[in-house]
Structure 1
Amino acid sequence: MKVLVLTSQKRIEKYTDFSKIPNNWELLYLDSVYREEEALRIGKTADFIIVDAVSPVSRNLIENMPNLRVIHSEGVGFNGIDTQAARKAGVYVCNNASLNSGAVAEQAILLMLALLRRLREGDSLVRQGKQGQAKIPFILNGIPELASCHVGIVGFGSIGRATAKRLAAFGSKVSYFSRRRLSEQEENDFGAEYLPLDELAASCDIISLHLPVTPDTIGFVDGDFLKKMKPSAFLINTARGEIVDQNALAQALEDGSIAGAGLDTLDPEPATLENPLLNLSDSCRYRVLFSPHIGGTTDDVFYRLHRNIWNNLFLAAQGKRPNNIVNGI
């Protein structure tokens, strides 16, 4: 069997248990940024592709790999893969859904707490020798606890649910919006009440996004959505940058329509210096907090992801159906 690897070789080498890979399997390495002609040159006869969650696998690549059985995203995302072409070719497309839920939920909580406690601003002032000057205005301006916040979760899949569980430990009031409303028992289990989207946007102190990228969710958080939020509210995005209209968010931060944003992801990625959220005025510099899309990239997560990838490839090699199929075969 041949495996075309379109992601970081170092990650494969760190997180794969090679003692379980058959000796007659061959790994063909490129990277997440690759030229298609090079991929076909070295991997035309490959049986499997492992691809970075944000990298493309085109129709042309799929149609010109006659032995291809499985395309496996290294993460949860798979919107760069031409799933229709894969389905037409009888190729399974698989992802690692749910395996990073707890880690991403932790990142969302981290961003919430950092914004509430004005962590970036406080750190900067202490480093400038201004601890004394900072403490009194921080106190007088008011430092809210997460327990006192009403948090709205948009998208209530595995990550949204993991976030709700962690917020329950803080004592937060939690509401959610999802295309499918949970049963009353499920809502009780997660300590979350359903709210229509407009009501959730208008009433919550923190909005946390946990949506997949689909044609319907690109630009989901736009200027109209942001205007419905409270001026004191924070937006958290640990999902995907495409979900948020970044020009609209930059404007909302500049004009004070919302209080701040915690962002683990931007669009495009890698982020460019032209991104409007990286070019806010000095008055906004402490109102937005970034992390480099690391919410779901803990060691624990990557060991789980790679175990799942190889288990699925082993199943397919035996003529069995793999798990986590996302292209409807």
Structure 2
Amino acid sequence: MMATSICHGFVTIFSWLRAAQPSTTNLKGTAPVSYDVVCLRPEVEFLRAGVTPPRSLTIAYRAPDDPEVPALMATARALVIGAVGPRLPASLFENSKLKLAQVTGAGVDRFDEPTLKRLGIPVCNVPGGSNTAVGDYAVTTASVLLRRFAWADAEIRAGNYVKFRARMIADNLAGLDGLTVGVVGLGTIGLAVAQAFHKRGCAILYYDPAPRDPTAVAAIDARPVTLDELLRTSDVVTLHVPFLPATKGLIGAAQLALMKPDAVLIQVARGGIVDEAALAAHLEAGRLAGAAVDVYSTEPPDATNPLFALKGDAARRLLFTPHFAGITRQSTAILFKTAWDNVVRVVSRGEAPLNRVY
């Protein structure tokens, strides 16, 4: 869904790498050059995080739309990709020799699951590597929205210090202590977010038919509820579910209408889970105190996104970030190192992969 815009953004960063690596054909154009690993993100990203990809393996770094990728994939034993980027064509994996498809993050929605399952190619991720970063993001953005910090900044810059300060005091804005936080999706990341809010003195509700760690859930006194009850009761609603047919449009106009008018929504899951037009309408009508949006129905989002059309107070209730909630220097290093360790485990040592999703 993001192929054209994101792939074009890779061109510059990959261009210098191409000069350092041979083409997939030799000078006579008769035989392909074989690599152990095809990596669809530039080497410089790993080095910047302080992680050196394994020198024991030959690695071809290419942009996802590079015309040499299909030939490279036919002979490589492992593929490494980021969690965010264009969906990969199922045809890339047909007749390949891949022993591992490794994501340097949590999400695996760039793959065609039925195809990789049919071909028996293990798909692995790095669960939990960005837990702390996402927890920090959710707690921070909830506080920024509830207490209107970003909104106040804009008003002060516009010369409205006195008037807006008086409005903030009159509105009796809440901090996090004692609030109810509803977590939709209590997997690895959702649990970490719930724990972060619990540490700030919040009561935790969750909607998830099969939480990953019941013992950890009990330790923070989190209570299971229906989605409707969670939406009606929570002061903060934070989303942490994968993008699946069952979660597409999970939060639409009917669900938003259940939320308290002074509640805030944290959209840090995947684009397409929230109906952006419905969210824009609720913010415009003042029926929601705010929303932090880190993921979008198309990425990068285009100018027609209804959230970008909001003006005045409605726009001030929005906090945009560029699919960045889980990215810090520390989390990136953990994600990269864990991913490459798994590649070495499979390709060099012939062992079964860790963190296999399917």
Structure 1 residue 183 displacement after superposition: 8.7
Q: Which residue among 215, 226, 230 is the counterpart of 1:200?
A: 230
Structure 1 pair 197–143 and aligned structure 2 pair: CA distance change class (3 A): same
Q: Distance in 2 between matches of 1:94 and 1:14?
A: 23
Contact kept in structure 2, 1:6 and 1:34, CA below 8 Å: no
Contact kept in structure 1, 2:51 and 2:333, CA below 8 Å: no
Structure 1 residue 313 displacement after superposition: 0.8
| 1:165 matched residue in structure 2 | 195
Structure 1 residue 290 displacement after superposition: 0.9
Q: Distance in 1 between matches of 2:353 and 2:278?
A: 41
| 2:356 matched residue in structure 1 | 325
Q: Does residue 53 of the first structure (1) align with residue 87 of the second (2)? A: no
Structure 1 residue 185 displacement after superposition: 5.4
Contact kept in structure 2, 1:28 and 1:43, CA below 8 Å: no
| 1:12 matched residue in structure 2 | 46
Structure 1 residue 206 displacement after superposition: 1.2
Q: Distance in 1 between matches of 2:202 and 2:243?
A: 27
Tell me, which stretches of 5 or more residues in structure 2 are unaligned? 1-34
What are the residue-to-residue correspondences of 1:122-137 with 2, within 5 Å?
122-137=152-167
Q: Which residue among 146, 151, 158 is the counterpart of 1:121?
A: 151
- Aligned identity (percent) is 30
TM-score by length of 1: 0.91
| 2:36 matched residue in structure 1 | 2
- Residues matched between the structures, number: 322
Contact kept in structure 2, 1:235 and 1:260, CA below 8 Å: yes
Structure 1 pair 182–41 and aligned structure 2 pair: CA distance change class (3 A): closer
Contact kept in structure 2, 1:260 and 1:287, CA below 8 Å: yes
Tell me, which stretches of 5 or more residues in structure 1 are unaligned? none
Q: Which residue among 81, 91, 95 is the counterpart of 2:125?
A: 95
Structure 1 pair 63–277 and aligned structure 2 pair: CA distance change class (3 A): same
Structure 1 residue 139 displacement after superposition: 0.6
What are the residue-to-residue correspondences of 1:218-229 with 2, within 5 Å?
218-229=248-259
Q: Give deviations 1:13-34, integer Å, cap 9, x for gaps.
A: 3236438431xx2221112x42
Structure 1 residue 205 displacement after superposition: 1.2
Q: Which residue among 250, 257, 260 is the counterpart of 1:230?
A: 260
Structure 1 residue 186 displacement after superposition: 4.3
Contact kept in structure 2, 1:6 and 1:30, CA below 8 Å: yes
Letter in structure 2 aligned against 1:325: R
Contact kept in structure 1, 2:251 and 2:275, CA below 8 Å: yes
TM-score by length of 2: 0.84
Q: Distance in 1 between matches of 2:222 and 2:202?
A: 10
Q: Secondary structure at the match of 2:266?
A: strand
Q: Which residue among 233, 241, 252 is the counterpart of 2:282?
A: 252
Structure 1 residue 133 displacement after superposition: 2.9
Letter in structure 2 aligned against 1:250: A
Of residues 174-183 and 235-244 in structure 1, the stretch that sits farther from structure 2 once superposed is 174-183
Structure 1 residue 184 displacement after superposition: 7.7
CA RMSD between the two structures: 2.0
Q: Distance in 1 between matches of 2:335 and 2:40?
A: 15
Q: Which residue among 338, 344, 358 is the counterpart of 1:308?
A: 338
Q: Distance in 2 between matches of 1:42 and 1:195?
A: 48
Structure 1 residue 226 displacement after superposition: 0.8
| 2:15 matched residue in structure 1 | none
Contact kept in structure 2, 1:7 and 1:30, CA below 8 Å: yes
Q: Which residue among 273, 279, 301 is the counterpart of 2:303?
A: 273
Q: Which residue among 229, 252, 271 is the counterpart of 1:241?
A: 271
Contact kept in structure 1, 2:264 and 2:291, CA below 8 Å: yes
Structure 1 residue 104 displacement after superposition: 0.6
Structure 1 residue 260 displacement after superposition: 1.6
Contact kept in structure 2, 1:164 and 1:191, CA below 8 Å: no
Structure 1 residue 10 displacement after superposition: 2.3
| 2:219 matched residue in structure 1 | 189
Structure 1 pair 218–122 and aligned structure 2 pair: CA distance change class (3 A): same
Structure 1 residue 44 displacement after superposition: 3.1
| 2:65 matched residue in structure 1 | 34
Q: Distance in 1 between matches of 2:82 and 2:218?
A: 37
Letter in structure 1 aligned against 2:155: L
Contact kept in structure 2, 1:48 and 1:313, CA below 8 Å: yes
